[in-house]
Amino acid sequence: MSRKLHARRIEAIDKNIWVEFTQLAADYKAVNLGQGFPDFSPPSFVQEAFCKALNGGFSMHQYTRAFGHPNLVKILAKFFSRIVGREIDPMEDILVSVGAYQALFCTFQALIDEGDEVIIVEPFFDCYQPMVMMAGGTICLLYLRLKCCGPVLSSADWVLSPEELASKFSPRTKAIVINTPNNPLGKVYQREELQMIADLCIKHDVICISDEVYEWLTYDGTKHVKIASLPGMWERTVTIGSAGKTFSATGWKVGWAMGSGHILKHLKTVHQNSVYHCATAAQEAVAVGFQREYDVFGTEESYFHQLPIHLHEKRLRLADCLKSVGLKPILPQGGYFMIADISNLNVDLTDPSTKDEPYDYRFVKWLIKEKGLATIPVSAFYSPEHRNEFQKYIRFCFVKEDTTLQAAEDILRQWSDSK
């Protein structure tokens, strides 16, 4: 065919680090601390719920309600009403999506037009930028910056400058995207930080898109605060959640967007013109999971209580190991990931196929190919314009079985000893 075929909206968004790096990890059969998924099973009560659902009569295998399986939206509304402190309408205020990823997609497609500005905080989960671009929006970037340098670094040390934040808001600003707990840093925004963002959203009448997929995973007593619960914010916030991250079942791809009906209705329009429904049985199983968690919320039996405790130890263990081999980890307050500074290592990266790439990309590829350990380069979480300034960090996922973490440690120690 002689003519140009593809639509302009997909220009410049064809590269994707996950496609590249998951393939590489698979090709080299690397110990995978790269992509963010657990290598242990979902909790048994949720697996049992799934099996029960698929044996539950013909309706479990046929279309359900387009905007979300009734059992699921009802329990999500009940569950989160208690947390947010307001009555959430299951039919108006919630949209179930194919993972949080599709909820983000619906949000941008529904609300962003050409000429709209969207504020994104770097480092960011990589899909925000291409999604805004695909919707024709313009990205306004600002950084989380390291406020101090000490021996023990925490994600809490990465902060926004109030002046810089305020300067990004303009009459064309349609939305700001925040992610807390943050991927890749692990930062958990404090109430005061969220209030600062909220004040600006209200002042400039801007929508807040709050990606909270790791909301149950906070450590060291850090509290996750929902920006939608701050005064004046419910009516202008879309909160994104994930059953995959909540129940360690990323492969089920069940997520949701939650917010005031007058905004959610636009996401629903995108949804009904793109995928229309999500898989029924998985939604039923997630509903059963949430009902169980609703009943035991706050108790020791709750998975939302047990999982962070479980991961707390893994996080510390990995941090200690990284320190012992000369890497400088940033201890995360929340989430699945830990980033580490690799600038002290002097590795001879002579692979000619990577010579034009940022240092961290080259290092990660070397680590996969030469040592069989997969991680993700953190400059992938920066905009292409700024990538070169942030080439010295790599990201580890610690939500893994102890055997996996042990295998990673063995590789790192062996490498360190051989130097």
CA–CA distance, 68 with 344 (Å, rounded to integer): 49
If one asks whether residue 58 binds other proteins (CB under 8 A), the answer comes out as yes
Tokens of 168: 């990004």
CA–CA distance, 390 with 380 (Å, rounded to integer): 9
- What part of residues 226-245 is at the interface with other proteins (CB under 8 A)? 235-236
Q: What are the Cα distances from residue 78, in Å, to 58, 232, 403? A: 27, 21, 38
- Which x/- pattern over 204-223 shows residues binding other proteins (rule: CB under 8 A)? -xxx----------------
If one asks whether residue 112 binds other proteins (CB under 8 A), the answer comes out as yes
Q: Going by C-beta distance under 8 Å and a sequence separation of 6 or more, which residues neighbour residue 328?
A: 153, 322, 340, 341, 344
Shortest distance in whole angstroms from residue 149 CB to other proteins: 36
Looking at 265, 305, 317, 371, which residue binds other proteins (CB under 8 A)?
265
Select 168 or 174, whichever has its Cβ closest to other proteins.
174
- Residues, the chain: 419
Strand order in the sheet with 138-143: 94-97, 255-259, 237-242, 207-211, 173-179, 117-122, 138-143
Looking at 28, 78, 130, 140, which residue binds other proteins (CB under 8 A)?
130
Q: Which of 191, 233, 252, 243 is nearest to 212 (CA)?
A: 243
If one asks whether residue 276 binds other proteins (CB under 8 A), the answer comes out as yes
User: Which parts of 157-302 fold into alpha helices (H)?
Assistant: 162-167, 191-204, 243-246, 261-272, 280-296
Looking at 278, 325, 364, 408, which residue binds other proteins (CB under 8 A)?
278
If one asks whether residue 170 binds other proteins (CB under 8 A), the answer comes out as no
Q: Considering only the stretches 62-70, 159-167, 303-311, 344-352, report the one whose residues sit in contact with other proteins under the rule CB under 8 A.
A: 62-70
Shortest distance in whole angstroms from residue 16 CB to other proteins: 5
If one asks whether residue 134 binds other proteins (CB under 8 A), the answer comes out as yes
If one asks whether residue 113 binds other proteins (CB under 8 A), the answer comes out as yes
If one asks whether residue 64 binds other proteins (CB under 8 A), the answer comes out as yes
Looking at 21, 67, 256, 359, which residue binds other proteins (CB under 8 A)?
67
State whether the Cα torsion 305-217-155-337 is positive or negative: positive
- What part of residues 311-340 is at the interface with other proteins (CB under 8 A)? none
